Amino acid sequence: MPRNRRKNMANGNAHHNNDSDDDTSNDNASVYSCQSETLNDAYNNNTDGDSTQTEAGSGFEKHEEKLLQAIENATDKSLQTRINAFQVINETLVHHYIPDFIDDRKMTLMDAIEKSIKKGKGAEQAWAARIIPLLVIQLEGAQEINGMMNVLKPVLLATAQDGAASYDARAKCCMALGLLNFLGTDDIGDLLPLMKNFEGIFSGSYLKGDSSPSSANADAAALHSAALSAWALLLTLIPSGDLVSLVNGNNQMIPSINKLVGMLQSPHLDVRMIAGETIALILESGRSHDESFLEDELPDLIEATQKLATDAHKYRAKRDRKVQRATFRDVHRYLEEDISPEISIKFGKETLLLDTWSLHHQYICLRNALGFGMNVHLTENEFLRDVLELGAKMDELERSLKVAKAEKKFINAAAFKARTITRGKNRDKRSAVVN
255-273 confidence digits (pLDDT tens): 999 999 999 999 999 999 9
State what percent of residues in the chain have pLDDT above 90.
52
Residue range(s) defining the domain that contains residue 158: 62-186
Domain boundary residue, one of 157, 186, 215: 186
Q: Is residue 20 over pLDDT 80?
A: no
User: What pLDDT sits at residue 139?
Assistant: 83
State the Cα angle at 368 between 367 and 373, rounded to 5°.
55
Q: Is residue 86 over pLDDT 90?
A: yes
- Asked, for residue 102, whether it belongs to a domain, the answer is yes
- Asked, for residue 181, whether it belongs to a domain, the answer is yes
- Asked, for residue 70, whether it belongs to a domain, the answer is yes
Q: Is residue 87 over pLDDT 70?
A: yes
Judgement on whether residues 199 and 181 belong to the same structural domain of the protein: no
Q: Is residue 379 over pLDDT 50?
A: yes
Judgement on whether residues 201 and 90 belong to the same structural domain of the protein: no
Indicate the number of domains in the chain: 2
Domain boundary residue, one of 341, 372, 392: 341
Judgement on whether residues 122 and 138 belong to the same structural domain of the protein: yes
User: What pLDDT sits at residue 366?
Assistant: 93
Judgement on whether residues 176 and 85 belong to the same structural domain of the protein: yes
- Asked, for residue 94, whether it belongs to a domain, the answer is yes
Residues 126-135: tens digit of each pLDDT: 999 999 999 9
- Asked, for residue 337, whether it belongs to a domain, the answer is yes
User: What pLDDT sits at residue 70?
Assistant: 95
| Low-confidence winner among 23-37, 173-187, 230-244 (lowest mean pLDDT) | 23-37
Mean pLDDT of the chain: 81
Higher pLDDT, 36 or 422: 422
User: What pLDDT sits at residue 223?
Assistant: 97
Confidence category of residue 348, pLDDT binned at 50, 70, 90: confident
Residues 312-338: tens digit of each pLDDT: 776 777 888 888 899 999 999 999 999
Judgement on whether residues 191 and 336 belong to the same structural domain of the protein: yes
Judgement on whether residues 138 and 277 belong to the same structural domain of the protein: no
Region 393-408: mean pLDDT is: 57
Judgement on whether residues 323 and 259 belong to the same structural domain of the protein: yes
Domain boundary residue, one of 152, 186, 220: 186
- Asked, for residue 38, whether it belongs to a domain, the answer is no
User: What pLDDT sits at residue 13?
Assistant: 39
User: What pLDDT sits at residue 406?
Assistant: 55
Judgement on whether residues 224 and 167 belong to the same structural domain of the protein: no
Judgement on whether residues 192 and 159 belong to the same structural domain of the protein: no
Judgement on whether residues 202 and 307 belong to the same structural domain of the protein: yes
Region 82-104: mean pLDDT is: 93
Q: What is the pTM of this model?
A: 0.79
Question: Mean pLDDT: which of 301-310, 389-398, 399-408 is highest?
Answer: 301-310
Judgement on whether residues 176 and 205 belong to the same structural domain of the protein: no
- Asked, for residue 7, whether it belongs to a domain, the answer is no
Residues 57-85: tens digit of each pLDDT: 446 777 788 999 999 999 999 999 999 99
Q: Is residue 302 over pLDDT 50?
A: yes
Q: Is residue 358 over pLDDT 90?
A: yes
Q: Is residue 8 over pLDDT 50?
A: no
User: What pLDDT sits at residue 71?
Assistant: 95
Judgement on whether residues 86 and 177 belong to the same structural domain of the protein: yes
- Asked, for residue 223, whether it belongs to a domain, the answer is yes
User: What pLDDT sits at residue 132?
Assistant: 95
Confidence category of residue 427, pLDDT binned at 50, 70, 90: low
